[in-house]
Amino acid sequence: MNCKKYDAYRLGKMNEAEFRSHAEGCASCKRQADADERIMAELGYLKRPLSAPNLWARIEEDLKKEQDIKRRDKLHVYARPGRSKLIAWLRKRSFILVPAALVAVGIGLGLFFELRHRTPASGLLAKEALRKVELTEREYIRAIDDLEKKARPKMASLDPGMMSLYRDKLEAIDSQIARCREALGVNSANAHIRRYMLAALQTKQQTLAELLTYE
Amino acid sequence: MEPMDEGQVIEMCKRGDLSAYRALYDRYEQPLLRTACRMLGRQEDAEDAVQDAFLRLYRGIDGFRSGARFSTYLFRILMNACFDMLRKKKGAVFDDFDIERLPLHSSHEDKHALAEAVGALPPQMKSCFVLFAIEEFKYEEIAGILNISEGSVKANIHRARKKLREWLGPLPDGGMR
């Protein structure tokens, strides 16, 4: 039968001095400690040097291949100024962009569903103010539509990659605007959804302006 | 190559300088090979694991934070490479320490017996024991390498010792292991 104090010592529950003094009078602990010491001494054999003459050459070859892949990736990015650069830029910032996009989508959906079920009495604008807002909004939308007409030929002249990126972005904004309009159909006087729609319209305006100046 | 501070070597590695990887290889080749050899049992598998570890190091070196202990980082990569290899050919390794499957050794002078016994330990126990007993890492460092608690490291090493004593049997002078 092995003395449990040896386990306690090895598991750090008993300090060395305490154990040594106990082991002097305990044959089981002494035997286990001696056996372990012998095993540890014999392990010296496993520390002998090993010879692997070709190993570095194999590693170096792997690392060179990896370097080539990195270089090619870089060249690929810079050879295509449009989409590749944008993708590289997005990839570099994905740690910020992905959570930001998720938060934005979450807020958008939350707002949308909340506004759909909100009673017309909440967040109401005064009647006169509402009329002014709607007027200004209509003018703003008209101006953006004009801008879009101007931007359309420019978009058609872009390389397919950039064209699809801009198209996707504008479609996403348009669908946001459409959702806002739907929510405003339920409660046209809700100031929050108006602000949300204004933000979408501003984003669309900026995107179109960016597209027009894109070289 | 002039001996360089490890921090400088790592910075050079981050810039993709292969001579810096060579310097790391020269410094760590033996401990890495030895550890992988004990973990996997065959030198050719150990060489594959070290090769894989260097490739993983190259791909992930940017994630190494200065101030952290590099040897712990490198051995963690190696251990992951070894565990992946063990998982891939699970049928070829013992799932648990199995005395019946090991050849009997009458001579305690036969060092191969000990090597085989160490090789037959379950992977987690073996990794703790090899890092502690052969590469002389501290409990804390082993815990960092294997991402387990220090208590678990101690328990694994203790159990490994017990199993080795069980298998290796009585000492030549009549005592018990």
Distance CA A101, CA A122 (A): 28
Judge if A108 and A196 occupy the same domain.
yes
pLDDT of residue B170: 58
Q: Which of B59, B93, B127 is the last residue of a domain?
A: B93
Distance CA A174, CA A180 (A): 10
pLDDT of residue B91: 53
Task: Return the number of other C-beta atoms located less than 10 Å from residue A78's C-beta.
Answer: 11
Cβ of A27 under 8 Å from any chain B Cβ?
Answer: no
pLDDT exceeds 70 at position A118 = no
- Helix, strand, coil percent values for chain A (each to nearest 5): 80, 0, 15
Q: Which of B61, B93, B125 is the last residue of a domain?
A: B93
Cβ of A38 under 8 Å from any chain B Cβ?
Answer: yes
Tokens representing B4 are 């360089």
Please state the ipTM of this predicted complex. 0.82
The residue ranking higher by pLDDT, A76 or A18, is A18
* In-domain check, residue A142: yes
Q: Which residue of B has its CA nearest to A48?
A: B34
Cβ of A92 under 8 Å from any chain B Cβ?
Answer: no
Q: Which residues in chain A are closer than 8 Å to B134, comparing Cβ atoms?
A: 43, 46-47
Distance CA B20, CA B150 (A): 32
pLDDT of residue A76: 60
- b/e per residue A31-50 (b: at least 16 CB within 10 A): bbbbbbebbeebbeebeeeb
Distance CA A80, CA A21 (A): 76
Distance CA A7, CA B162 (A): 10
Q: Is A203 exposed, middle or buried (0-12, 13-18, 19+ CB in 10 A)?
A: middle
From the list B25, B54, B171, the residue facing A35 with the nearest CB is B171
Tokens representing A85 are 């650069």
Query: Given an 8 Å threshold on Cβ–Cβ distance, is A59 in contact with B54?
Result: yes
User: Quick check: A162 and A82 in contact, CB under 8 A?
Assistant: yes
Residue-wise pLDDT for B13-71, tens only, equals 999 999 999 999 999 999 999 999 999 988 999 999 999 999 999 999 988 987 788 99
* In-domain check, residue A28: yes
Residue-wise pLDDT for A27-65, tens only, equals 888 888 888 888 888 888 888 889 999 999 999 999 999
Domain total of chain B: 2
* In-domain check, residue A169: yes
Q: Closest Cα to residue A36, out of B122, B152, B163, B136?
A: B163
Residue-wise pLDDT for A122-163, tens only, equals 455 567 777 777 888 888 888 888 888 888 888 888 777 777
pLDDT exceeds 50 at position B1 = no
User: Quick check: A47 and B172 in contact, CB under 8 A?
Assistant: no
pLDDT of residue A126: 65
Judge if B54 and B17 occupy the same domain.
yes
Q: In sequence order, what are the beta bridge partners of B68?
A: B66
pLDDT of residue B60: 92
Mean pLDDT of B105-117: 65
Q: CATH number of the domain at B25, please.
A: 1.10.1740.10
Q: Which of B93, B123, B146 is the last residue of a domain?
A: B93
* Average pLDDT over chain A, rounded to an integer: 81
The residue ranking higher by pLDDT, B93 or A86, is A86
pLDDT of residue B93: 46
The mean-pLDDT minimum among A16-25, B129-138, B166-175 falls in: B166-175
The residue ranking higher by pLDDT, B170 or A4, is A4
Distance CA B83, CA B39 (A): 9
Q: Range of B169's domain? A: 94-177
Q: CATH number of the domain at B102, please.
A: 1.10.10.10
